[in-house]
Amino acid sequence: MDSAALEPSLYTVKAVFILDNDGNRLLSKYYDPELYPSMKEQKNFETNVFNKTHKADNEIAFLEGMTIVYKSSIDLFFYVVGSAQENELMLMAVLNCLFESLSQMLRKNVEKRTLLDNMDGVFLVVDEIIDGGVILESDPQQVIEKVNYRADDNPLSEQSVVQVLQSAKEQIKWSILK
C-alpha cells in the first residue's frame, strides 16, 4: 500500500479532531466516509491515537496506516489525520493554521474552558479551514477575517471574575501536573 503513488486530488485531510487531556472528544470531523464509518470505530481510533501520543509531544505519528500530526496546548490536543502517502508538511500546514486561528480567536488562551465557552467560533474556524477534506484556507489571518467571530469580551462583571479565577486555577493546576 505504501509504494502506490498518490492519486492527484485535493482531498488531503482524512480527519481532524480536538481532544481534552482525558482523551475525550471535544470536536471531531471525519471527511472520508470509508474511514471509520461508525461512531464506535471513530472513538476507538481517537482513544488509540490519544494513548500513543499524549505522553510525548512529538508532533507526528504513524498509526493504523494513517499519518497523524498533532500539537498540544495546556489541556487540549489537536490532531490532523491524512493517508500514509500524504505530504506530511501539508498536514502540518493545516494543523498550524487551525492552532494559530484558535489561538488568535481565543486571545492566546488555548485551553479547554475557553475553547468550550467559544465552541461556536471553534466550529466555524474548522469549517473555514477544511471543507469536506479539502484545504479551504491555510492562512490563520484569513480564517479569522472570514469567521469574524468575537470571543466574549468579558467585561469585568462579578461572574467573569469567577471565570478568570477559574481559568487561572486550571492553568496553575496543569502547569503543576505537567
Partner 1 sequence: MIDRSILMCLGSGSNPFQHLEKSAVLQEARIFNETPINPRRCLHILTKIIYLLNQGEHFGTTEATEAFFAMTRLFQSNDQTLRRMCYLTIKEMANISEDVIIVTSSLTKDMTGKEDVYRGPAIRALCRITDTTMLQAIERYMKQAIVDKVPSVSSSALVSSLHMVKMSFDVVKRWVNEAQEAASSDNIMVQYHALGLLYHLRKSDRLAVTKMLNKFTKSGLKSPFAYCMMIRIASKLLEETEGGHDSPLFDFIESCLRNKHEMVVYEAASAIVHMPKCTARELAPAVSVLQLFCSSPKAALRYAAVRTLNKVAMKHPSAVTACNLDLENLITDSNRSIATLAITTLLKTGSESSVDRLMKQISSFVSEISDEFKVVVVQAISALCQKYPRKHSVMMNFLSNMLRDDVSSSKDGGFEYKRAIVDCIISIIEENPESKETGLAHLCEFIEDCEHTVLATKILHMLGKEGPRTPTPSKYIRFIFNRVVLESEAVRAAAVSALAKFGAQNDDLLPSVLVLMQRCMMDSDDEVRDRATFYMNVLQQKQKALNAAYIFNGLSVSVPGLEKSLHQYTLEPSEKPFDMKTVPLATAPITEQKTEIAPMATSKLPEKLAPSRQDIYQEQLAAIPEFQGLGPLFKSSEPVQLTEAETEYVVRCIKHTFANHMIFQFDCTNTLNDQLLQRVLVQMEPSESYEVLHYVPAPSLPYSQPSSCYSLVRLPEDDPTAVSCTFSCTMKYLVRDCDPNTGEPDDDGYNDEYVLEDLEVTVADHIQKVLKPNFGAAWEEIGDEFEKEETFALATVRTLDEAVNNIISFLGMQPCERSDKVPENKNSHVLFLAGVFRGGHDVLVRARLALADGVTMQVTVRSTDENVVDVILASVG
> Which residues sit at the interface with partner 1, rule CB under 8 A?
1-3, 5-10, 20, 25, 27-29, 39, 42-43, 52, 56, 58-65, 69, 84, 87-93, 112-113, 116-117, 119-121, 123-124, 127, 131-132, 134-138, 142, 146-149, 166, 169-170, 173, 176-177
* E-state strands within 24-129: 25-30, 60-63, 66-73, 76-83
Cell 479569522 -> residue: 144
Phi–psi pair at 137, nearest 5 degrees:
-150, 145
- Give the Cα separation of 79 and 71 in Å (integer): 7
In contact, 75 and 115? CB cutoff 8 Å: no
**Which CB atom, from 107 or from 132, has the smaller least distance to partner 1?**
132
CB of 27 to partner 1, least distance (A): 6
Cell 508532533 -> residue: 59
119: cell is 465552541
CB of 155 to partner 1, least distance (A): 14
CB of 157 to partner 1, least distance (A): 15
CB of 39 to partner 1, least distance (A): 4
**Which CB atom, from 81 or from 91, has the smaller least distance to partner 1?**
91
**Which CB atom, from 52 or from 103, has the smaller least distance to partner 1?**
52
- Give the Cα separation of 124 and 129 in Å (integer): 9
130: cell is 477544511
**Which CB atom, from 93 or from 110, has the smaller least distance to partner 1?**
93
**Which CB atom, from 56 or from 156, has the smaller least distance to partner 1?**
56
88 CB neighbour count, 10 Å cutoff: 14
CB of 108 to partner 1, least distance (A): 19
